[in-house]
């Protein structure tokens, strides 16, 4: 049984939170691209390589979420969504952002402790961590605003 969820956020609050969350995932993607362009060929340690690959999965989750939200807009679905649409849309974006923040932060800490940091890779990890945090911080209130409809 696929339950419907409805949000009660005002249009202005929805727009503000949505735009800020969008800035977060855009920064996260930019950091990931910078990381790939600037040093992914010499990742250095196994731990950094693993977190880089896991960051790739977090990027994929955010992309799936974005595509689902776009699909919902095309289908004219806005304030009331089915549970699966909510999970594959906002859920993937929000938790992909959280995973990106955690994984990028871990990579940056590993870089510091192992003194492996190359300027561009470390900066990219910080951009990714900040973008993931912003995506999560402003996407979470939107996700939490969806409440199950009464039957």
For the segment 31-75, what is each residue's pLDDT rounded down to a tens digit?
A: 988 888 776 545 555 656 777 788 889 999 999 999 999 999 898
| Stretch 10-34: mean pLDDT | 92
Which of 3-12, 113-122, 132-141 holds the top average pLDDT? 132-141
CB neighbour list of residue 49: distance below 8 Å, 6 or more residues apart: 43
Contact at 8 Å (CB) between 59 and 32? yes
Structure tokens at 34: 């910078």
For residue 76, pLDDT over 90 is answered with no
Residue 72 or residue 119, greater confidence = 72
Q: How many CA atoms lie within 13 A of 4 on its CB side?
A: 9
Q: What is the pLDDT of residue 60?
A: 94
Burial 95-109 (b: 16+ CB within 10 A, else e): bbbbbbbbbbbbbbe
Band (pLDDT 50/70/90 cuts) for residue 120 is: confident
Cα distance between residue 151 and residue 149, in whole Å:
6
């Amino acid at each position: 049984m696929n339950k419907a969820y409805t949000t009660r956020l005002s249009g202005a609050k929805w727009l503000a939170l949505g735009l800020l969350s969008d800035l977060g995932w855009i920064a996260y993607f930019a950091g990931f691209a910078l990381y790939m362009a600037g040093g992914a060929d010499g990742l250095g340690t196994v731990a950094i390589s693993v977190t880089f690959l896991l960051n790739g999965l977090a990027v994929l989750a955010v992309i799936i979420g974005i595509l689902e939200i776009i699909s919902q807009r095309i289908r004219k679905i806005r304030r009331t969504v089915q549970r699966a649409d909510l999970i594959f849309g906002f859920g993937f974006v929000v938790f992909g952002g959280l995973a990106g923040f955690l994984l990028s932060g871990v990579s940056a800490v590993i870089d510091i402790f192992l003194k492996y940091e190359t300027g561009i890779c470390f900066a990219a990890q910080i951009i990714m961590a900040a973008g993931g945090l912003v995506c999560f911080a402003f996407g979470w209130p939107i996700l939490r605003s969806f409440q199950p409809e009464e039957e």
